[in-house]
Chain A
Amino acid sequence: MTTKYSSAIATEIIQEYSAAAEMLVQILHAFIARFSYLSDAAIRQIALELNLSRAEVHGVVSFYHDFRTKPPGDHVVKICVSESCQAMGSREIVSQAEEKLGIKIKETTADGSITLEPIYCLGNCACSPAVMVDEKVYGRVDLKKLDGLIEECRG
């Protein structure tokens, strides 16, 4: 479960990695796992405790797809849009999800329940198309299965 940002917990996480600059990517992962996104306060604190400039931390944060700087929806639905899934209709899966949720990919629904994201390969290519909901991967996803997954997210 993710929690609200706390500088005490943030320090704990950084100390788990011995406040080593070479662990920055891993620290950012741990922050996302704990606080769901990287706030300005988080970036400021990481920079301070790792003895890096905020620009350096920002450079790393903005380089990687995983490091979001805005809060995500309660559930994150990632649709694989790489070639293998394209060959099995992932473009239709994306359109249907966008239509059903009333948002474009990379957006979050107005009620904050679902964020829709593209992902470039889940390694489930023999069972394409693949979709990941939070940390769970689904294979051979057709339009019906997609509807079911979205309904489940909506509770």
Chain B
Amino acid sequence: MTESITVFVPNETAAVSLGANEIAEKIGAVASNKKGQVNIVRNGSWGMSWLEPLVEVAVGDERIAYGPVAVDDVDGLFTAGFLQGGEHALKLGPTADIPYLKKQDRWTFRRCGLIDPLSVTDFEANGGFSGLKKALASGPEHVLEQVKMSGLRGRGGAGFPTGIKWQTVASAQGEQKYVTCNADEGDSGTFSDRILMESDPLTVIEGMIIAGFAVGASKGYVYLRSEYPLTKQIFSKALTLAREQGWLGNDIQGGGFSFDIDLHIGAGSYVCGEETAMLESLEGKAGVIRYKPPLPAIEGLFGKPTVVNNVVTLGSVPDIVAFGGAAYDEYGVGRSKGTLAFQLAGNIKRGGLVEKAFGLTLRELIEDWGGGTASGRDLRAVQIGGPLGAYFSAEQLDTPMDYEAFAAVGGMIGHGGIVVFDDTVDMAAQARFAMEFCAIESCGKCTPCRIGAVRGVEVIDRILANEQRDENFTLLNDLCDTMIDGSLCAMGGMTPFPVQSALKYFPEDFKK
């Protein structure tokens, strides 16, 4: 009798979008024809999207990687003896030794790719739930202390200190409190929430339970965007599993704490990533933002004290509690502590997720990890932080990746998305798109955003049509100032950033 060989084929959006399901099926079919024993595990992704679909085989204590694999490669892989780690043009060697992965500082994403996302046993065998067990044993005060000490800041984009937010909710009056997880990852160029929820969903669940325990909430909500159907499928299963095995619901693991989570699906609105719009949407309403104050920490979901955190923020918490806040604080620079999952996207040769301590430069990410543009042409512009983030020019690549250094040059790291453009980009078209996107996605509550974005498109069109250029440039600058100063939230308040940066660094594109 031959021993069963384990083959890993990711069940993750990027891999599946490139044929991972068909590959898994084919491997199973070929193996059974050859009467071989193959155990196919649908793991998550290591985040090396440029190598997807990345197929791995467990050989001895190692996992040998092959990629990017196409369905048509499967027969050849069998011929090459890939089940024993045989040589093949697509062989990458041991996964753990691939430099792209090896040089990272994996904290929040350390189990992504490694485990079967829907196996509680696998999760626990790799350190899962140890943060929660420690939390339940040491009490809410201890958890709050560790999260504060870690220096963790909100990874959704705003960078607000997580410990302070939690303390505010914990100190707020009220029987009913909530924990909400913002998984409305709408920024183009970002996919770290998706990768974490697909590849290690139990980490996010564990982080939410810990948050609930720390602040005294018994109910959690995840607000997931509808553009992620596979994520919904995997995360729903993870919730069911956790419930079945006593990690959600009444009296979790007999520790005396009860907490459950509902999954809500968004409906294609970008502004619902704004925390108060998300709360409105969770209440079943249109995602129109709320005035602040009151802060959601005081009056949030259904008017109750509410934690609103991003997926990656919550996913970073379990190990902060397990290893102590000081261990996390050792990563990073200045006031940007810990790691961030940078996401390399757009026109980039090696796109994917890079979790790294704050402080490295944009150039290191784009050149060392990313390998430059996918087209092989010169890099011309980089947009960081999503559609509301400024465009950087090729001369600014030495900017260090930390919140304050970015703010100093008029940019923002946001959720860590980095979108690269080559020299064929038309920056006037990109500036126009920023306004157009705001016009489409504005919730309509405040005038600068609702009307300003529409007028912004018109003014840019006039400039490009050479109508009263000087007057219209003045008008556009005035309009940008009004939107920045007068909008209620970041939608209208930051849309001018990509526009102004395009005007500043790429003025030649506006001369037609």
Contact = CB atoms under 8 A, between A and B. Distances in A.
Contacts of A29: 226, 265, 267
A138 B419 contact: no
> Which secondary structure dominates where chain A touches chain B?
mixed
Interface string A56-94: 000110011111000000000000001111111000000
Interface residues of B, number: 63
Nearest to B437: A120
B374 interface: yes
Contacts of B506: none
B45 to A, nearest CB: 10
Interface centre among B347, B430, B443 (most CB of A within 10 A): B347
B420 A87 contact: yes
Contacts of A59: 286
Interface stretch (A3-11, A95-103, A107-115, A125-133): A125-133
A9 B286 CA distance: 25
Given A26-B264, A88-B347, A126-B345, A120 B17 contact: no
Contacts of B16: 137
Contact of B13 (A22, A83, A85, A137): A137
Nearest to B284: A24
B383 interface: yes
Given A125-B419, A139-B18, A25 B188 contact: no
A151 interface: no
A122 B17 CA distance: 11
Contacts of B400: none
A34 interface: no
Contact of B419 (A28, A60, A84, A130): A84
Contacts of A119: 227, 268
Contact of B188 (A20, A24, A125, A139): A125
A105 interface: no
Contact of A25 (B18, B284, B353): B284
A132 B230 CA distance: 12
B158 to A, nearest CB: 19
Nearest to A50: B284
A84 B14 contact: no
A20 B272 CA distance: 21
Contact of A84 (B52, B345, B352): B345
Nearest to A60: B286
> Which secondary structure dominates where chain B touches chain A?
mixed
B430 A84 contact: no
A23 interface: yes
A126 B416 CA distance: 13
B402 interface: no
Contacts of B420: 87
B267 A123 contact: no
A146 B244 CA distance: 42
A77 to B, nearest CB: 14
B28 to A, nearest CB: 20
Contacts of A21: 284
B421 A87 contact: yes
Contacts of B114: none
Contact of B17 (A60, A66, A67, A127): A127
B284 A127 contact: no
Nearest to B48: A126
A61 to B, nearest CB: 9
Given A120-B186, A125-B190, A135-B229, A83 B433 contact: yes
B275 interface: no
Given A88-B346, A125-B191, 4 more contacts: A25-B267, A65-B269, A120-B441, A126-B344
What are the 9 closest A-B residue pairs judged by CB atoms, nearest first?
A126-B351, A82-B188, A65-B268, A126-B49, A125-B345, A64-B267, A24-B284, A87-B346, A139-B17
Interface of A: 20-26, 28-29, 59-60, 63-67, 82-88, 119-128, 130, 132, 135, 137-140
Interface of B: 13-14, 16-18, 49-50, 52, 185-191, 193-194, 226-231, 264-270, 281-288, 302, 343-348, 351-353, 374, 383, 387, 417, 419-422, 425, 430, 433, 437, 440-441, 443
